[in-house]
Amino acid sequence: MSTPPIIGARIPQLGAREKVTGQAVYTDDMKLPGMLYGAILRSPHAHARIKRIDTSKARALPGVKDVVTGDDTLKVAYGNWRLVPDIQDEYVLAVDKVRYVGDEVAAVCALDADTARRACELIEVEYEVLPAVFSVEEALAEGAPTIRAEKPGNLSLTREIEYGGVDEAFTRAEYVREDTFRVPTVSHAYLEPCSALAAPDEGGRVTLWTSTQTPYIVQVLLAKTLGLPENHVRVIKPQVGGGFGGKMELRTWEFCAAFMALRTGRPVKFTLTRADELAYGRRRHAMVLRSKIGLTRDGVILAKDLDVLLDSGGYNAMGATATFLVGNFGAMLYRIPAYRYLGRYVYTNNPPASAMRGFGAPQALFAGECQLNMVAEELGIDPIELRIRNAMQAGDSVPGVATARTCGFREALEKVRDASGWVEKRARKRPGKGIGVAGCSFISGGVFNWFDTKYHFTSCEVRVFEDGTAHLLTMASDIGQGSDTVLRQILAAELGIDIHKIRLTAGDTAVTPKADLGTWGSRVTLMAGNAVLDAARKIKEMLAGVLFMEYDLNQIHDVAFAGDRVFVRAKPKRGMDFGECVYKALRGRRGEPLTAFGYYTPRDKGLVTPAFSFGAQVIEVEVDEDTGVVSVEQVHTAHDSGVPINTMAVEGQLEGSIHMGLGYALSEELITVEGRVRNATFLDYRIPAAEDMPPSASYEIVTRDPEGPYGAKEAGEGLVSPTAPAIAEAIWDAVGVRSDTLPITPQRVLEGLGKL
List the helix and strand counts (H, then E) for the chain: 19, 30
* pLDDT confidence bin for 591, thresholds 50/70/90: confident
Backbone angles phi, psi at 524, to 5 degrees: -70, -50
8-state DSSP, 528: I
> What is the Cα–Cα distance from 93 to 71, expressed in whole angstroms?
9
Residue 626 CB contacts under 8 Å (≥ 6 apart), including other chains: none
497 pLDDT tier (thresholds 50, 70, 90):
very high
H-type alpha helices, 501-568: 529-551
Spell out the domains of the chain, with CATH numbers in brackets. 27-130+194-271 (3.90.1170.50), 287-448+606-752 (3.30.365.10), 450-600 (3.30.365.10)
When pLDDT is averaged across residues 195-201 and rounded to a whole number, the result is 98
Q: Report the C-alpha gap between 484 and 462 in whole angstroms.
A: 14
Question: Distance between CA 95 and CA 564 in Å, rounded?
Answer: 59
State the Cα–Cα distance between residues 169 and 337, nearest whole angstrom. Answer: 9
DSSP β-ladder status, 287-295 and 175-183: antiparallel
Number of CB atoms found within 10 A of residue 419's CB: 15
Mean pLDDT for 511-516 is 87
Average pLDDT over residues 34-58: 98
Q: Give the model confidence (pLDDT) of 110-131 as tens digits.
A: 999 999 999 999 999 999 999 9
Looking at residue 704, its amino acid is R
* pLDDT tens by residue, 202-225: 999 999 999 999 999 999 999 999
Report the residue count for the chain: 756
Measured from the Cβ of residue 176, the count of other Cβ atoms closer than 10 Å reads 15
Which among 154, 174, 180 is positioned nearest to 305, based on CA atoms? 180
Rounded mean pLDDT, 548-565: 86
Burial (CB < 10 A; 0-12, 13-18, 19+), residue 204, is exposed
Q: What is the pLDDT of residue 752?
A: 97
Closest to 547 (Cα-Cα) out of 594, 512, 584 = 584
| Dist. CA 90–CA 251, nearest whole Å | 10
Q: Give the strand pairing for 502-506 and 559-562.
A: unpaired
Triad 393, 395, 400: Cα angle to 5°: 115
Identify the CA nearest to 523 among candidates 266, 306, 716, 254: 716
Query: What's the rounded Cα separation, in Å, for the pair 559 and 543?
Result: 9
Residue 508, helix vs strand vs coil: strand
CA distance 314 to 98: 8
Arithmetic mean of pLDDT, 502-515? 93
Does residue 36 contact residue 110 with C-beta atoms inside 8 Å?
yes
Q: How many other β-carbons are positioned within 10 Å of the β-carbon of residue 128?
A: 11
Q: Are 601 and 530 in contact (CB under 8 A)?
A: no
Q: Which of 421, 429, 355, 364 is nearest to 187 (CA)?
A: 355
Q: Is the per-residue pLDDT at 557 higher than 80?
A: no
308/411 Cα distance (integer angstroms)? 31
- 3-state SS, one letter per residue, for 362-418: HHHHHHHHHHHHHHHHHHCCCHHHHHHHHECCCCCEECCCEECCCCCHHHHHHHHHH
Note the maximum CA span of the chain: 86
pLDDT digits (tens, 9 = 90+) for 233-272: 999 999 999 999 999 999 999 999 999 999 999 999 999 9
Chain-wide mean pLDDT for the chain?
95
Give, as one character, the DSSP assignment of residue 350.
S
Q: What is the pLDDT of residues 9-36, one digit of tens each?
A: 999 999 999 999 999 999 999 999 999 9
Confidence of residue 518 (pLDDT cuts 50, 70, 90): confident
Return all residues near 707 (Cβ < 8 A) that are at least 6 apart.
405, 444, 445, 526, 530, 602, 605, 610, 611
Q: Report whether 56 contacts 270 (CB < 8 A).
A: no
What local confidence, expressed as pLDDT, does residue 402 receive?
79
Report whether pLDDT(515) > 50: yes
Question: 426-455, pLDDT tens digit by residue?
Answer: 999 889 999 999 999 999 877 654 445 555
Determine the average pLDDT of the residues in 574-598.
95
pLDDT of amino acid 499: 98
Enter the DSSP assignment of 279.
Answer: H
Distance between CA 404 and CA 329 in Å, rounded? Answer: 13
CA 725 to chain centre: 20
User: 596-605, 708-717, 720-729: lowest mean pLDDT where?
Assistant: 596-605
Residue 400: pLDDT above 90?
A: no
Which positions ≥6 away from 561 have C-beta within 8 Å? 494, 495, 496, 497, 540, 543, 578
Angle between helices 578-588 and 529-551 (to 10 degrees): 80
H or E, element range at 616? strand 612-623
Q: 166-175, 247-256, 444-453, 653-662 — which is least confidently predicted?
A: 444-453
Arithmetic mean of pLDDT, 544-565: 87
Consecutive H or E run containing 261: helix 252-264
What is the C-alpha separation between 387 and 413, in angstroms, rounded? 8
| Cα 587 from Cα 581, distance rounded (Å) | 10
